[in-house]
A and B are shown apart, each in its own frame.
Chain A
Amino acid sequence: MEMCFQILLQGKRVTQRELFYKLLCDSPDYFSSQLEVNRSVQDVVALLRCSRFSLGIMASTRGLVAGRLSLQEPGKEAVDCSACGSSGFPISGDLNLLDNTIITSDARYIILVEKHAIFHRLVEDRVFNHIPCVFITAKGYPDIATRFFLHRMSITFPHLPILALVDWNPAGLAILCTFKFGSVGMGLEAYRYACNVKWIGLRGDDLNLIPQESLVPLKPKDSQIAKSLLSSKILQENYREELSLMIETGKRAEIEALYCHGYNYLGKYIATKIVQGKYI
């Protein structure tokens, strides 16, 4: 806490690694690993009921957004996220900046994409022009900035359904749940940015769409994640069924498995599911 106080006094920010080294030299008897520093930070966050960001700890730019959306940061020109080249528009790690950004959109859906490669495919094919939507990805496990951004989107556009496209494996579901309920590892910070996210794919009833070879065995880590998810009280029944199916068959599948039908199949798949209202 003292360290963060001093850093904030200087008007600066610090990365968790830098914090570790400073504490290593300052109080070597108390801190000997990055893990200890991270835990202490979480404790402080819980105690002061603040965010890591407000303690002066820098967040990285991980998330990307693309689609029928326009973002205007204070003092700058509005950026059209449907004209973003091949990469999408990066979601800033600065929560204050995100809070003060003006968002306008004519999308009808918000689609969360687990993986960067899938996001890239959807953006390159301009799928947001066929299905009026906004694509958001955190490139894996969601960081605070992406969750914050999603939360802002859900408040600004309360009627837009938020649909998640994740791999059919426990890790994918864990990512969906983090957006939906918050992250266990983040303590009290977690619930703040929870959003009503629905699972559009990849799901158990899509398994007939993919070739047998794409169903690969679960890794030991997957089983651990599945157990941990199943033990959570807030997990809804239909999600439990999906997890049980994964564990029983001992298999998992990635979204890319759908590519066997051709590249543009992914857009059609999403469109079909939306039209049929097949999301849980």
Chain B
Amino acid sequence: MEGKFQISDTTNLLRKIKDFTRSIVEDLAEGKSPEISINRFRNYCNDPEADCFCSSDEPKGREILTLRKTSQTYRIDMLLRVLLIVQQLLQENRHGSKRDIYYMHPSAFKAQSVVDRAIADICILFKCSRYNLNVVSVGNGLVMGWLKFREAGRKFDCLSSLNTAFPVPVLVEEVEDVVSLADYILVVEKETVFQRLANDMFCKTNRCIVVTGRGYPDVSTRRFLRLLMEKLQIPVHCLVDCDPYGFEILATYRFGSMQMAYDIESLRAPEMKWLGAFPSDSEIYGVPQQCLLPLTEEDKKRTEAMLLRCYLKREMPQWRLELETMLKRGVKFEIEALSVHSLSFLSEVYIPSKIRSESLPVTNLI
């Protein structure tokens, strides 16, 4: 997060890397195997009573890697190789993606997943985020609206061009001077919905910021959203398709992903609200029958798996109810189905009325 991890922290991390390596060498010199303790994290489980500790960010167990087992030796070997590359990145103040790292020694790494696992291990070991290791990937997110900020010396003046899409910055820790008069942040699943809002000049009549991850949100989009939430302290609403994939995206924004469970704090949006689309919306807003597509077998399996997740039971039972309704009805629909009667329905009626009803004190807040 901005201000928390600066140049001095890079120096700290480099020192920690040296200390860690030294302790391994010392252990080996004494003829004994080093013991590397790696914590395990998860952000949900399938416990039916939700009687678990998943809501806490604390580790749920740990593994101890030693040189006594071959498989663990391999894992330590990969960890050290990646650590060497990370050290170089930090020393040279460059950034690389997970893929770039794989390509530096494809014969040793053998597969991308090996590199991914090593990076996760390193982050857990040194209690830091991936970007602290200077491991970043190009981002895919877009933002527009009532916002101004700077990233790596470049000015992003979204306010001057309210309906132009700006790329979400990749180096979120270098974002400064965030200024905004927006009333809320609207996160949309799809780029096409983002385009619709831009075309309808949504931000001219609604003082807000619109963000999209263009599908499943990547790390930089999630971090950027988190930054905006922390800096601006305004409500965040999420608009996804009424289908299992849309719900998965909503859950990723709100609860984080299992893969990045070790870094959950900086990647999730705990107060995000689900604006729509709900299964009930299809009746309320007159979605024609032909636009209601049947759930496939894959969809049903996915939905059933999501219904088992403990965080839904524990934290958002209303969301779980809507998901169950979707499964029961056996149909799904996309946001675009709402615009069938009028292209500007989404921006002129649906979104503003949903947001208005959100701000009433006594309502079925989802």
- What 0/1 readout, one digit per residue, does chain B (143-180) give for beta carbons within 8 Å of chain A? 00000000111100000110011110111000000000
The stretch from A9-17, A98-106, A175-183, A194-202 touching chain B is: A9-17
Report the minimal beta-carbon distance from A259 to chain B, rounded to whole angstroms: 4
Q: Does B54 contact A (CB under 8 A)?
A: no
Q: Does B107 contact A (CB under 8 A)?
A: yes
Please determine whether A259 and B104 come into contact, CB atoms closer than 8 angstroms.
yes
Please determine whether B192 and A87 come into contact, CB atoms closer than 8 angstroms.
no
Nearest CB in chain B to that of A14: its residue:
B343
Please determine whether A87 and B104 come into contact, CB atoms closer than 8 angstroms.
no
Please determine whether A256 and B103 come into contact, CB atoms closer than 8 angstroms.
yes
Task: Pick the contact of A256: B100, B336, B344 (CB < 8 A).
Answer: B100
Question: With A257-B106, A260-B103 known to touch, is A90 a contact of B165 (CB < 8 Å)?
Answer: yes
Query: In the complex, A12 Cα to B202 Cα: how many Å?
Result: 13
Q: For B364, list chain A residues within 8 Å (CB).
A: none
List residues of B (237-290) whose CB comes within 8 Å of A's CBs: 288, 290
Please determine whether B107 and A212 come into contact, CB atoms closer than 8 angstroms.
yes
Please determine whether B343 and A85 come into contact, CB atoms closer than 8 angstroms.
no
Please determine whether B138 and A25 come into contact, CB atoms closer than 8 angstroms.
no
List residues of A (88-139) whose CB comes within 8 Å of B's CBs: 88, 90, 92-93, 116-117, 119-121, 124-125
Please determine whether A17 and B334 come into contact, CB atoms closer than 8 angstroms.
yes
Interface hub of A76, A87, A259 (most chain B Cβ within 10 A): A87
Query: In the complex, A276 Cα to B191 Cα: how many Å?
Result: 42
Query: In the complex, A263 Cα to B334 Cα: how many Å?
Result: 43
Report the minimal beta-carbon distance from A59 to chain B, rounded to whole angstroms: 9
Query: In the complex, A254 Cα to B97 Cα: how many Å?
Result: 15
Q: For B94, list chain A residues within 8 Å (CB).
A: 124-125, 263
Please determine whether A86 and B152 come into contact, CB atoms closer than 8 angstroms.
yes
Q: For B171, list chain A residues within 8 Å (CB).
A: 85-86
Report the minimal beta-carbon distance from B8 to chain A, rounded to whole angstroms: 22
Question: With A58-B195, A60-B191 known to touch, is A18 a contact of B99 (CB < 8 Å)?
Answer: no
Query: In the complex, A117 Cα to B95 Cα: how many Å?
Result: 11
Nearest CB in chain A to that of B160: its residue:
A76
Query: In the complex, A14 Cα to B334 Cα: how many Å?
Result: 15
Which of B's residues lie within 8 Å of A, judged by CB? 94-97, 99-100, 102-107, 110, 137-139, 142, 151-154, 160-161, 164-167, 169-171, 191-192, 195-196, 199-200, 288, 290-291, 334, 336-337, 339-340, 343-344
Query: In the complex, A93 Cα to B196 Cα: how many Å?
Result: 13
Please determine whether B337 and A21 come into contact, CB atoms closer than 8 angstroms.
yes
Q: For B169, list chain A residues within 8 Å (CB).
A: 85-87
Please determine whether A15 and B196 come into contact, CB atoms closer than 8 angstroms.
yes
6 further contact pairs, Cβ within 8 A, besides A259-B100, A260-B106: A15-B192, A17-B334, A86-B152, A117-B97, A214-B106, A263-B94
- What 0/1 readout, one digit per residue, does chain A (3-40) give for beta carbons within 8 Å of chain B? 00001001011110110111011001000000000000
Question: With A10-B343, A21-B291 known to touch, is A120 a contact of B195 (CB < 8 Å)?
Answer: no
Task: Pick the contact of B138: A18, A58, A90, A116 (CB < 8 A).
Answer: A116
29 cross-chain CB contacts under 8 A: A12-B200, A12-B343, A13-B199, A17-B336, A18-B192, A18-B343, A21-B336, A24-B290, A25-B288, A25-B290, A25-B291, A58-B192, A60-B192, A61-B142, A85-B169, A86-B151, A86-B169, A86-B170, A86-B171, A87-B167, A93-B195, A117-B97, A117-B138, A120-B138, A121-B100, A124-B94, A254-B103, A256-B103, A259-B104
Nearest CB in chain A to that of B89: its residue:
A263
Report the minimal beta-carbon distance from B212 to chain A, rounded to whole angstroms: 11
Report the minimal beta-carbon distance from A103 to chain B, rounded to whole angstroms: 18
Please determine whether B336 and A260 come into contact, CB atoms closer than 8 angstroms.
no
Report the minimal beta-carbon distance from A53 to chain B, rounded to whole angstroms: 13
Query: Which 6 A-B pairs rank lowest in CB-CB distance, beginning with the nearest?
Result: A85-B154, A256-B103, A213-B106, A213-B107, A259-B103, A15-B192
List residues of A (55-70) whose CB comes within 8 Å of B's CBs: 58, 60-61, 64
Task: Pick the contact of A58: B105, B139, B199, B339 (CB < 8 A).
Answer: B199
Query: In the complex, A256 Cα to B137 Cα: how many Å?
Result: 14
Query: In the complex, A61 Cα to B195 Cα: how many Å?
Result: 9
Q: Does A211 contact B (CB under 8 A)?
A: yes
Question: With A90-B165, A257-B106 known to touch, is A7 a contact of B343 (CB < 8 Å)?
Answer: yes
Nearest CB in chain B to that of A12: its residue:
B343
Question: With A83-B154, A86-B151, A259-B104 known to touch, is A15 a contact of B336 (CB < 8 Å)?
Answer: yes
Please determine whether B340 and A22 come into contact, CB atoms closer than 8 angstroms.
yes
Report the minimal beta-carbon distance from A78 to chain B, rounded to whole angstroms: 14
Q: For A90, list chain B residues within 8 Å (CB).
A: 165-167
Query: In the complex, A13 Cα to B138 Cα: how many Å?
Result: 29
Q: For B167, list chain A residues within 8 Å (CB).
A: 64, 87-88, 90
Q: For A61, list chain B residues within 8 Å (CB).
A: 142, 165
Report the minimal beta-carbon distance from B296 to chain A, rounded to whole angstroms: 15
Nearest CB in chain B to that of A32: its residue:
B290
Q: For B336, list chain A residues within 8 Å (CB).
A: 15, 17-18, 20-21
Q: For B164, list chain A residues within 8 Å (CB).
A: 92
Query: In the complex, A274 Cα to B138 Cα: how many Å?
Result: 27
Please determine whether B107 and A117 come into contact, CB atoms closer than 8 angstroms.
no
Please determine whether B196 and A18 come into contact, CB atoms closer than 8 angstroms.
yes
